[in-house]
Amino acid sequence: MTRLDIAYEEVEDLLENEDLSHQMKQYRGLQIHQIDIFRTNDLIQNDPGRYVTIEFSSLDDHDVRNDVSDVVCDVLKPMLGQYGNKVLVVGLGNQNVTADSLGPDTASKVLVSAHLSEEIRAGNPQIAVIAPGVMGQTGIETAKIVRSICQSEDFELVIAIDALATKSLSRINHMIQISDTGIHPGSGVKNKRMGLNEKTLGVKVISIGVATVMSVEHLIQEKLHEMGCEDRKCNHLEDLDMVVTPKEMDEVKLHLSEVLASGINRALNHNFNQL
């Protein structure tokens, strides 16, 4: 079974049981799913922990962007717990690839304060930001770069931001996932990379991801299902090692990075204003 980036897609057809809990609510017209995975099994590959997904329509409307930013902030705050005094925000992804640059773009909008005195920070945490690139650019596992920085600078918490792969066309650019379990970069596009989590980094990791791409394999499967042709045999779909993203990704990514950065800034800084 292939591990899916988005936990909701892994459990949406499963009933609650001793291995998972799934709660859904509406907030300002947004649909929010809170999924708690207690243990893995043959059907659940995602790591145990809490996954909150936020579904929204277009981000063209300013009020919708504010609502989504509100939810991002509200979900993050309880996850921070006692870990929010010295925070490293990591923008994962390749800045040179539009659909994979959400992490670096969001990180660039996060308020940096680790270099400021306690008096200037006025009770807010020390926040540092990096965008380490991808292994194809650096030749080094991203998790190892982040771990080295955490160890040398004594960070208490990592917030990792990344683009995710979805198996549903309707969810591209319409779903945010926030988790307290960390993240496995590239897992949704079959890249085997070292995970960023508490075990590998030695510090608490919160991940924030947005569905920005879809594999051609899942796209074909979804379209065949919509046409009632799911019984049609298509050999070697798993060999189609390609992903797709909408042509308007540049514009949408600008809104997404603003929404995520605003939610992060407000969750970490008590005096940060709304979008």
Mean pLDDT per block of 10 residues along the chain (275 residues) reads: 78 86 89 93 89 93 93 94 88 92 96 91 92 91 95 95 91 95 70 84 95 82 70 63 85 95 94 67
Beta strand 175-179 pairing with 157-166: unpaired
Q: What is the pLDDT of residue 208?
A: 97
Element (H, E) at 104: helix 102-107
Burial of 29 (0-12, 13-18, 19+ CB in 10 A): exposed
Angle at 134 between CA 130 and CA 136, to 5 degrees: 150
CA–CA gap between residue 176 and residue 32 (Å, rounded): 10
Q: What are phi and psi of 50, to 5 degrees?
A: -105, 135
For the chain, how many structural domains are there in total?
A: 1
Q: What is the pLDDT of residue 232?
A: 61
Number of H helices, E strands in the chain: 9, 9
Q: Is residue 2 part of a domain?
A: no
- Hey, is 3 helix, strand or coil? coil
Q: Is residue 80 part of a domain?
A: yes
Contact (CB, 8 A) for 34 and 58: no
Contact (CB, 8 A) for 224 and 169: no
Kindly state the DSSP code that residue 198 receives in the 8-state scheme: H
User: What is the token pair recorded at 146?
Assistant: 């982040």
Q: What is the pLDDT of residue 262?
A: 96
Residue range(s) defining the domain that contains residue 18: 7-268
- Hey, is 17 helix, strand or coil? strand
User: What is the token pair recorded at 101?
Assistant: 């640059």
Q: Is residue 250 part of a domain?
A: yes
Q: Is residue 197 part of a domain?
A: yes
Residue type, 40: T
Long-range pairs, 231-234, Cβ under 8 A, ≥24:
none
Residues 6 or more apart in contact with residue 79 via CB below 8 angstroms: 50, 178, 180, 206
Beta strand 204-215 pairing with 157-166: parallel
CA–CA gap between residue 199 and residue 43 (Å, rounded): 23
Q: What is the pLDDT of residue 188?
A: 45
Q: What is the pLDDT of residue 12?
A: 87
Q: Is residue 1 part of a domain?
A: no
Q: Is residue 150 part of a domain?
A: yes
User: What is the token pair recorded at 186?
Assistant: 């590239």
- Return the CATH number at 36: 3.40.50.1450
Q: What is the pLDDT of residue 235?
A: 63
Q: What is the pLDDT of residue 75?
A: 95
Contact (CB, 8 A) for 27 and 21: no
Q: Is residue 273 part of a domain?
A: no
Q: Is residue 274 part of a domain?
A: no
Q: What are phi and psi of 29, to 5 degrees?
A: 80, 0
Q: What is the pLDDT of residue 164?
A: 94
Kindly state the DSSP code that residue 81 receives in the 8-state scheme: G
